[in-house]
Amino acid sequence: MRPADAHYGVLAARAVINSINTRLKPSEIAYILDHSQARLLLVDHEYVHLVKGTAIPYIVCNDTGRAGDPYEAFLESGRLFAAGRGWQGLEAEPDENAPCTLCYTYGPCLCSSCIR
């Protein structure tokens, strides 16, 4: 997955990006997804096992860059939705304090399911 696509696309949609450390345990990732109230996941094919079983819809990137890749289809649907307006057709977020990135620390989390 190209991080710039995901990062700038999320910002353009006025959503919040939450990059997750792939070295965390699935239970820690599940906690982050729940706590962050994630509504959509963009997942590289190598890390699908970390989000299996989640109720959150996810789009898998197979790193092909070609038609038929679910991530490429997702990007194309965004282009069609934008009707060719591109970046110029987007409204800028007027609030400079609006959230755009959510970060969690790399240590063990403090949720009850992770503390043993």
pLDDT (tens digit, 9 = 90+) per residue, 64-105? 777 888 888 877 777 776 676 666 667 777 888 888 888 886
Residue 114 CB partners (closer than 8 Å, separation 6+): 25, 27, 28, 31, 108
36 located within any domain: yes
What is the C-alpha to C-alpha distance for residues 21 and 105, in angstroms, rounded to an integer? 9
7 located within any domain: yes
Q: Which residue has the higher pLDDT, 10 or 24?
A: 24
Q: What is the pTM of this model?
A: 0.71
Rounded to an integer, the average pLDDT of 8-23 is 81
109 located within any domain: no
100 located within any domain: no
In the chain, % of residues over pLDDT 90: 9
What is the C-alpha to C-alpha distance for residues 95 and 45, in angstroms, rounded to an integer? 35
pLDDT for position 22: 87
pLDDT for position 16: 85
22 located within any domain: yes
pLDDT for position 46: 92
Confidence band of 113 (pLDDT split at 50, 70, 90): low
Report in angstroms the alpha-carbon separations of 82 from 8, 12, 39, 85.
Answer: 14, 11, 21, 6
pLDDT tens, 25-54?
A: 888 888 889 988 999 888 889 999 999 888
59 located within any domain: yes
Look at the chain and report how many structural domains it folds into.
Answer: 1
pLDDT for position 47: 92
What is the C-alpha to C-alpha distance for residues 43 and 70, in angstroms, rounded to an integer? 10
What is the domain extent for residue 77?
Answer: 3-84
93 located within any domain: no
